[in-house]
Amino acid sequence: MNLLFRIFQKLINSSLNNLLKLRNTHLLIFDIIVFSITPLLALLLRLDGYFDKAHLPELGIATILFLAVKEPIPLIPAI
């Protein structure tokens, strides 16, 4: 049991150390990837998995608008 606890503690410590090494650019890249996929997932959920190529132009516009609105918010300095 003590060995299992030490292994678990070592795993948690290494994970936290790696998490603390993340920079804002890593988080920005992660946000851009997640927010680029979100409109597609929302459309797939809305259409129950049926996806037609006719939706691609609107999906591209929605993705660009979503990124344009969502990403600059952390860049605005707090007053």
**What per-residue confidence (pLDDT) applies to 30?**
85
Indicate if the pLDDT at residue 79 is higher than 60: no
- Whole-prediction pTM value? 0.57
Q: Specify if 53 maps to a domain.
A: yes
* pLDDT tens-place string over residues 28-77: 788 888 888 988 888 888 888 787 888 888 888 888 888 888 766 655 66
> SS3 string of 42-67?
HHHHHCCCCCCHHHHHHHHHHHHHHH
Q: Specify if 49 maps to a domain.
A: yes
**What per-residue confidence (pLDDT) applies to 72?**
67
What domain count does the chain have?
A: 1
Handedness of CA 13, 17, 18, 19 (dihedral sign): positive
Q: Specify if 15 maps to a domain.
A: no
Q: Specify if 8 maps to a domain.
A: no
Judged on CB neighbours under 10 Å (0-12, 13-18, 19+), 43 is: middle
**What per-residue confidence (pLDDT) applies to 15?**
78
What residues make up the domain containing 69?
A: 22-74
Q: Specify if 57 maps to a domain.
A: yes
CA distances from 32 to 12, 29, 38, 41, 60 (A): 27, 5, 10, 15, 14
